[in-house]
């Protein structure tokens, strides 16, 4: 590992003291003068036509300041893509899931707002509803959007090579079905929006978001306000996990209430509303047929996916693609076909998740082990055999740059003592592996890049302006570290202003694993630009050329004469008096295909670079009851270069909990007629501290040629491949495959009973 | 966050004031002890309660006393669950109580929650423990004063599940409780406290409160409680089994009692299972198998809490077998 002054160490983050002491403000903590309370009326029906809405009684209730309904819809539809604009952010003609937003009130206090909701009368005509994706796709199912036959919202088709020939050439072919129920993100912070529609026509909005600039653009379009007048102030985010990137009805509704009431409005969702009315995670059915050579080389794969998308599109085209993209980022797939269908259902809207696609990535990763088992190949060996290498191209055409996948697989096997354990442990104990690649920086058009500005005050201390967002993973600290390293300063010397659309420049936010890779490159470039300007001014004072200078500890000096040092503040002041103020400017746009499109043209470079990881878990299965405990997790992460080692380790630990073992073993939505039975943290089972295994977090350093100081995405590999690692470990422990996620004890017990029957 | 409804709060300072608060109140009131369940239920507006009578200052209800000579253990209803795990009186007399308490919720909740509250815990159901707006999506159920069961359509009465962990163990230990009311006190077997009805799980009347739990022969019996839950802490039981038998029985179940939990609307004593074990060795697999089958036969789980009914039923038998195996291994609590 290269030795930097600031980078690559384990350091406490700039946000740690605030969060540890409780001083960090989250949106719900913010109070504006004259602020009202907003409350939303939700649909009680899964599928119904709205015949009439009568708000007259609610409007007359003393203390009510505004009521909004479909009359205030602006007749606009939201969609992440032009071709997916299907969602009116307050229901107009019909409702498509239980919980859809139908009306809202702003009142002086919460009690009054709740009372007012009871006074709104909505007349519905109930329509037949359909809840499961495969049933929604069947002929004759009720149509949820009349212009989408068979309720197919998105169909992504990828066909590479000659799949039929690949199967014909294969020595061994098998087909399996894997499935998973829907999940919840489980951010601790309930969703809250504060909107202040100012008399001058500007909208100020405080919201926990992973992408303030995207939110501003959407609100600008929807409310028809120029973009420079939509001020999205990002407050601290109590968990995002992929579910804070989109635009939600509450954003639009709170803004509309504020516009109507001419006062600031705060609307906070309850846990139940947060779990059902923002975004949920897709349920999924995956059929996969794989053909391999005798030696386990993948020769052909045919994958069909059906995803329950809920009532609207959200990030549909991306959601329908990402599980496959992650798979093709990991293994060589010469002949591969994907048919991925995202289907409308009468359930809440489904979005992207940090471990999106457990039936897909868990299933395909488990099938790889099934194949290895049939062919008598070690699961580590079959992964190494098919693992992509630096310089290779993925199935749909992306080039791999830095790649530590094979090294991560080997290291994880070695450190976990795989060879001594796999197949050799006591009954009920098992070990399994998962591995994956991960894209950093999607093709997102003008929103795919980032730019940063570094300004200096006359005392020599800089302020970074960047659109990068920190949802808790440490992105802010990484930006400060990068700037400090380039400018020869220390972390406390630097001030950061981030993710505030009034002052920061366009950035995609914490999306597609791009913050450190894209935003970090932009900050690095801005710092280098500032440094060059500093050297040019200092060269005049020190009477030398700019390239003879160095900067350390806030002092600029000739490399060959440390005694020549002058303070940075003097250089900054000279720049000001000479009318050449130092303002660093930098940007970065990942080198991705400009013609690649999720549905119409899924070909070409799909991300700026890729990170990799391998994860070995050990499980303890109670052979009598089927209960599974994860006892140990050993991960190796090719994150390029760890800007802050502690933050990278923390990401792995978090991904083992949320996504990792939670998704694999316990997390699932339960439903009855479109109503979620477990919309709370007692009955929706997320792992607790006592459920966590012993964790060994490690890095593989590859110094990515594209990343800032070699850095790229850090953290998703634990959550993206724990399903397969745990599923494979359960097989090692018990000899049975459980192909439905989560792997709950009843399923393990059933599989064991089936096996016993077959043996008899 | 769900908002609490408005309510008045009375804070009597002793049992006399408590009595007058209860008899003097014309409001619909609830007794507030630890509040770990009650406050959540109020937020969900499960009760039409307009006032709470807090026991916090009635310190005379918080005690744990063990008298070695009479072998009698007395626990005041207001003893906090954490206190039960730390009490030398419990450890010296019936340590299985401390072990069972440690399976309840999590330490911060146990610091507040009381033994009286645990014994009076309301029954639970996916279709009942929901917000008011959620419940309004379905017909009003028996437990809310209506005429249907949303969890088991066709059921003639409420099927909400009994979820407190201590009652089965204490019933297996033949605990008695004292109920104090405006007309005085009465002492009954804890087993007789429960109605088995999901709608109204115990016999407490409006002017009564549970004041004391007594074990008359605290050291006489060996006892164990085991529960199934999906996580290693926090969760209510999805199945539970309590087992007790006479001590010093040299590896045999003498006068055993089996009480199963969380598979019906009350804790269920299963004498048929106990009978199969009586006089049998801990290692008698045939006896344990038939006892487990009898216990499973008594379980009536339905799909109104987590996991699957078939599995919860199965777990009743498995937990009993596991306890026997632990006894053989000498690990009994």
Both tokens assigned to A374: 């049939």
**Smallest CA–CA separation between B223 and chain A, in Å?**
22
pLDDT at A200: 86
Phi, psi of A581 (to 5 degrees): -60, 145
Instruction: Locate B8 and state its tokens.
Output: 């008045």
* Mean pLDDT within B317-331: 93
CA distance A417 to A524: 40
Task: State residue A751's pLDDT score.
Answer: 97
Mean pLDDT by groups of 10 residues along chain A of 760 residues: 90 91 95 98 97 98 98 91 95 98 98 96 98 98 98 98 98 98 94 94 95 94 95 92 93 97 97 96 98 98 98 96 97 98 98 91 97 98 98 98 97 98 97 97 90 98 96 94 97 96 94 93 98 98 96 96 95 98 98 96 97 98 97 97 95 90 95 96 96 97 97 91 97 98 97 88
Mean pLDDT (whole number) for B158-179: 98
Would you state the pLDDT for residue A760?
65
Q: In whole angstroms, how far apart are CA A111 and each of A54, A72, A162, A262, A301?
A: 20, 24, 64, 21, 57
Find the mean pLDDT for residues B298-320: 98
Residues of chain B whose beta carbon is less than 8 angstroms from a beta carbon of chain A are 1-3, 6, 106, 126-127, 129-131, 133-134, 136-138, 150, 228, 230-236, 305-308, 310-311, 314-315, 318, 321-322
**What residues of A are in contact with residue B308 (Cβ under 8 Å)?**
746
- The whole-angstrom separation of Cα A352 and Cα A342 is 12
pLDDT at residue A660 in the model: 86
| Residue B43 in tokens | 């937020």
Q: Which chain B positions have a beta carbon within 8 Å of A271's beta carbon? A: 1-2
Whole-angstrom distance, CA of residue A475 vs CA of residue B29 = 51
- Asked if A688's CB is within 8 angstroms of B234's CB, the reply is yes
Among A624, A672, A690, select the one facing B232 at the smallest CB separation. A690
State which residue of chain A sits closest to B313, comparing Cα positions: A746
Mutation target to probe the A interface, by most A beta carbons within 10 A, among B6, B107, B315 is: B315
Of how many residues is chain B composed?
333
- What is the model's pLDDT at position B331? 56
What six digits make up the tokens of B333? Answer: 């609590």
Chain A: give the shortest CA distance to residue B105, in Å: 10
> What is the DSSP track for A245-287?
SS--HHHHHHHHHHHHHTS-EEEE--HHHHHHHS-EE-EEEEE
Task: Enumerate domains of chain B plus CATH numbers.
Answer: 1-58 (3.30.43.10), 62-120+162-328 (3.30.465.10)
Q: What is the pLDDT of residue A512?
A: 87
Q: Please state, as a whole number, how many other Cβ atoms lie within 10 Å of the Cβ of residue A193.
A: 27
Both tokens of residue B284?
Answer: 């008698």
Residue A548, classed as helix, strand or coil, is: helix
Dist. CA B100–CA B119, nearest whole Å: 13
Q: Which of B277, B235, B270, B272 is nearest to B256 (CA)?
A: B277
- Per DSSP bridges, beta strands A429-440 and A609-621 are antiparallel
Domains, chain A, with CATH or none: 31-127+189-238+244-277 (3.90.1170.50), 280-443+595-759 (3.30.365.10), 445-588 (3.30.365.10)
Report d(CA B248, CA B246) in Å as an integer. 7
Put simply, the answer to whether B233 touches A270 (Cβ < 8 Å) is: no
B145-157 burial, b for 16+ CB within 10 Å, e for fewer?
A: eeebbbbbeeeee
Eight-state DSSP code of residue B121: P
Residue reference for tokens 């966050």:
B1
Give one DSSP letter per residue of B267-303, joined into a string. -EE-HHHHHHHTT-BTT-HHHHHHHHHHHHHH----T
In chain B, which residues have their Cβ closer than 8 Å to the Cβ of A98? 137
DSSP secondary structure, B214-274, as one string: EETTTTTEEEEEEEE-SSSSSPPPSEEEEEEEESS-TTB--S-EEEEESSSSS-EE-HHHH
- The ipTM is 0.95
Name the helix (H) or strand (E) containing A582. Answer: none
Q: What pLDDT, in 10s, does the model give residues B202-248? A: 999 989 999 999 999 999 999 999 999 999 999 999 999 999 999 98
Residue B171: C-alpha distances to residues A28, A223, B175 (Å): 46, 64, 6
**Structure-block tokens of residue B50:** 């307009």
Residue B249 has pLDDT above 90, yes or no: no
Q: What is the DSSP-derived secondary structure letter of residue A9?
A: B
Q: Report pLDDT for B244.
A: 97
How far is the C-alpha of A487 from the C-alpha of A479, rounded, in Å? 12
- How many contacts, defined by CB atoms under 8 Å, are there between A and B? 76
Closest approach of B157 to chain A, Cα-based (Å): 20
Strands B51-54 and B8-10: parallel
Which residues in chain B touch residue A268, judged by CB atoms under 8 angstroms apart?
A: 1
pLDDT, one tens digit per residue, over B76-100 is 999 999 999 999 999 999 999 999 9
- Give the Cα-Cα-Cα angle A409, A373, A338 (nearest 5 degrees): 75
Distance from first CA to last CA of chain A, Å, rounded?
Answer: 56
Q: Would you state the pLDDT for residue B333?
A: 44
């Amino acid at each position: 590992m290269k030795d930097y002054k600031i980078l690559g160490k384990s350091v406490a983050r700039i946000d740690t003291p605030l969060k540890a002491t409780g001083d960090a403000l989250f949106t719900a903590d913010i109070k504006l003068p004259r602020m009202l309370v907003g409350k939303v009326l939700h649909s009680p029906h899964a599928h119904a036509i709205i015949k009439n809405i009568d708000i007259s009684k609610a409007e007359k209730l003393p203390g009510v300041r505004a009521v909004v309904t479909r009359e205030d819809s602006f007749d606009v539809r939201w969609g992440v893509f032009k071709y997916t604009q299907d969602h009116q952010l307050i229901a107009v003609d019909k409702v498509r899931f239980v919980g859809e937003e139908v009306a809202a009130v702003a009142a002086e206090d919460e009690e009054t707002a709740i009372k007012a909701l009871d006074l709104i009368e909505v007349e519905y005509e109930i329509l037949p509803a359909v809840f499961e994706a495969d049933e929604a796709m069947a002929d004759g199912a009720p149509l949820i959007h009349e212009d989408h036959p068979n309720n197919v919202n998105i169909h992504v088709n990828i066909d590479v090579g000659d799949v039929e020939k690949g199967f014909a050439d294969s020595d061994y072919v098998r087909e399996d079905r894997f499935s998973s129920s829907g999940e919840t993100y489980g951010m601790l912070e309930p969703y809250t929006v504060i909107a202040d529609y100012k008399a001058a026509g500007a909208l100020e909005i405080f919201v926990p978001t992973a992408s303030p600039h995207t939110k501003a653009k959407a609100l600008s379009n929807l409310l028809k306000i120029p973009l420079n007048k939509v001020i999205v102030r990002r407050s601290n985010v109590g968990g995002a996990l992929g579910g804070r990137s989109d635009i939600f009805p509450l954003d639009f509704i709170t803004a509309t209430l504020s516009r109507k009431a001419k006062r600031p409005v705060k609307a906070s969702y309850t846990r139940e509303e947060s779990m059902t009315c923002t975004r949920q995670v897709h349920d999924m059915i995956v059929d996969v047929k794989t053909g391999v050579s005798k030696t386990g080389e993948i020769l052909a794969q045919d994958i069909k996916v059906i995803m329950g998308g809920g009532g609207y599109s959200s990030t549909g085209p991306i959601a329908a693609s990402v599980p496959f993209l992650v798979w093709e980022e990991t293994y060589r797939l010469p002949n591969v076909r994907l048919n991925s269908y995202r289907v409308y259902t009468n359930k809440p809207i489904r979005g992207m998740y940090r471990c999106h696609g457990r039936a897909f990535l868990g299933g395909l990763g488990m099938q790889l082990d099934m194949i290895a088992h049939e062919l008598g190949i070690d699961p580590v060996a079959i992964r190494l055999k098919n693992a992509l290498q630096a310089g290779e191209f993925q199935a749909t055409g992306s080039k791999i740059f830095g790649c530590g996948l094979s090294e991560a697989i080997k290291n994880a096997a070695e450190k976990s003592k795989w060879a001594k354990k796999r197949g050799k442990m006591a009954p009920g104990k098992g070990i399994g592996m998962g591995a994956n690649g991960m894209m950093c920086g999607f093709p997102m058009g003008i929103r795919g890049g980032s730019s940063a500005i570094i300004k200096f005050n006359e005392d020599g201390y800089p302020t970074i302006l960047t659109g990068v967002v920190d949802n808790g993973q440490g992105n802010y600290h990484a930006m400060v570290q990068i700037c400090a390293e380039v400018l020869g300063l220390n972390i406390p010397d630097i001030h950061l202003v981030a993710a505030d659309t009034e002052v920061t420049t366009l950035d995609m936010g914490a999306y597609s694993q791009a913050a450190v890779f894209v935003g970090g490159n932009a900050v690095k470039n801005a710092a280098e630009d500032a440094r060059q300007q500093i050297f040019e001014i200092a060269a005049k004072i020190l009477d030398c050329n700019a390239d003879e200078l160095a900067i350390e500890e806030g002092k600029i000096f000739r490399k060959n004469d440390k005694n020549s040092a002058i303070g940075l503040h003097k250089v900054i002041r000279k720049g000001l008096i000479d009318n050449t103020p130092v303002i660093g400017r930098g940007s970065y746009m990942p080198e991705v295909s400009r013609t690649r499109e999720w549905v119409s043209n899924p070909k070409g470079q799909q991300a700026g670079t890729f990170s990799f990881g391998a994860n070995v878990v050990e499980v303890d299965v109670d052979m009598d009851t089927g209960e599974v405990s994860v006892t140990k997790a050993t991960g190796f992460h090719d994150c390029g270069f760890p800007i802050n080692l502690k933050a990278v380790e923390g990401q792995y630990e978090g991904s083992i909990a949320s996504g990792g073992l939670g998704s694999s073993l316990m997390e699932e939505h339960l439903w009855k007629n479109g109503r979620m039975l477990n919309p709370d943290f007692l009955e929706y089972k997320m792992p607790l501290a006592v459920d966590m295994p012993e964790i060994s977090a490690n890095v593989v350093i590859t110094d990515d040629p594209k990343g800032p100081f070699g850095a790229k995405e850090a953290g998703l590999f634990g959550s993206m491949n724990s399903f397969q690692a745990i599923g494979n470990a359960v097989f090692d422990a018990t000899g049975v495959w459980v192909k439905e996620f989560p792997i709950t004890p009843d399923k393990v017990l059933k599989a064991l009973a089936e096996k016993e029957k077959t043996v008899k | 966050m769900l908002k609490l409804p408005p309510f008045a709060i009375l804070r009597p300072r002793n049992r006399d004031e408590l009595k007058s608060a209860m008899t003097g109140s014309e409001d619909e009131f609830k007794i507030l002890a630890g509040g770990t369940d009650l406050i959540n239920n109020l937020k969900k507006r499960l009760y039409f309660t307009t006032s709470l009578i807090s026991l916090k200052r009635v310190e005379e209800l918080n005690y744990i006393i063990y008298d070695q000579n009479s072998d009698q253990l007395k626990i005041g209803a207001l003893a906090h669950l954490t206190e039960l795990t730390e009490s030398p009186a419990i450890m010296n007399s019936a340590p299985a109580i401390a072990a069972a308490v440690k399976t309840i919720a999590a330490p911060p909740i146990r610091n507040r929650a009381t033994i009286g509250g645990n014994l009076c815990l309301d029954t639970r159901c996916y279709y009942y423990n929901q917000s008011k707006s959620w419940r309004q999506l379905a017909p009003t159920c028996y437990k809310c004063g209506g005429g249907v069961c949303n969890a088991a359509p066709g059921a003639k009465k409420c099927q909400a599940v009994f979820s407190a962990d201590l009652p089965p163990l204490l019933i297996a230990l033949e605990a008695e409780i004292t109920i104090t009311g405006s007309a005085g006190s009465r002492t009954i077997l804890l087993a007789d406290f429960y109605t088995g009805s999901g709608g109204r799980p115990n016999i407490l009347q409006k002017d009564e409160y549970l004041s004391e739990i007594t074990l008359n022969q605290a050291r006489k019996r060996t006892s164990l409680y085991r529960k199934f839950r999906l996580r290693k802490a926090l969760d209510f039981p999805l199945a539970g089994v309590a087992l007790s038998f006479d001590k010093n029985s040299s590896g045999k179940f003498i006068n055993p009692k089996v009480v199963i939990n969380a598979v019906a609307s009350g804790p269920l004593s299963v004498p048929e299972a106990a009978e199969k074990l009586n006089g049998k060795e801990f290692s008698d697999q045939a006896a344990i198998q038939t006892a487990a089958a009898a216990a499973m036969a008594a379980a009536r789980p339905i799909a109104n809490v987590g996991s699957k009914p078939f599995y919860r039923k199965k777990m009743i038998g498995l937990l009993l077998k596991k306890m026997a195996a632990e006894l053989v291994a000498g690990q009994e609590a």
